[in-house]
Amino acid sequence: MAADPKQSETLRQIQAAFEASQTQLTQLRQQVEKHSALAKAKTQSDFLQKEKERVFRELGEAVFKQAQKGRLELPAAFAPLLKAIEQVHHKAEVQAREITDLLMEGEETAQRMKQKNAGPPNSGVAPRPKKL
């Protein structure tokens, strides 16, 4: 039995579309793998950057503490940085005192309201109705 030319052409087109889809899928898979590798590298880079910043911060704090204790003398070029750190410390202390004061005010207000609302105890009996 001879094959129908229309069916043969349709099968050839389906086969060509299937092969094109496989090629596209392979390319897409490669792109996804490349993107995944880039994302992983970026995440690792971000982690290392944060770790570096943490270590620098710890080093700076250690050097600052040693300089404050007089165990380390820094060059004059560091004077503006030391002054800036001292100013930030001072501002933080002032803010901490303000927060403490606000908390104390809130506590005092709560105590006054508690005493004000304490009033006489309820007898549990409704008051008599007023006569008209």
Does residue 124 belong to any structural domain of this protein? no
Report the predicted TM-score, pTM, of the whole model to 2 decimal places.
Answer: 0.51
Q: Structural domain tally of the chain?
A: 2
Tokens of 103: 């908390």
d(CA 81, CA 60): 11
59 in the same domain as 30: yes
Confidence (pLDDT) at 123: 60
Rounded to 5 degrees, what are φ and ψ at 98?
Answer: -65, -40
List per-block mean pLDDT (blocks of 10 residues) for the chain, which spans 132 residues.
Answer: 75 94 96 96 97 96 91 93 92 96 92 80 68 72
The residue segments making up the domain with residue 93 are: 75-113
Spell out the SS3 assignment of 28-70. HHHHHHHHHHHHHHHHHHHHHHHHHHHHHHHHHHHHHHHHHCC
Residue 61 shares a structural domain with residue 51:
yes
pLDDT of amino acid 21: 96
Establish if 97 belongs to a structural domain: yes
- Please, are residues 64 and 85 in contact by the beta-carbon 8 Å criterion? yes
The per-residue pLDDT for 114 is 86
Residue 39 lies in a domain: yes
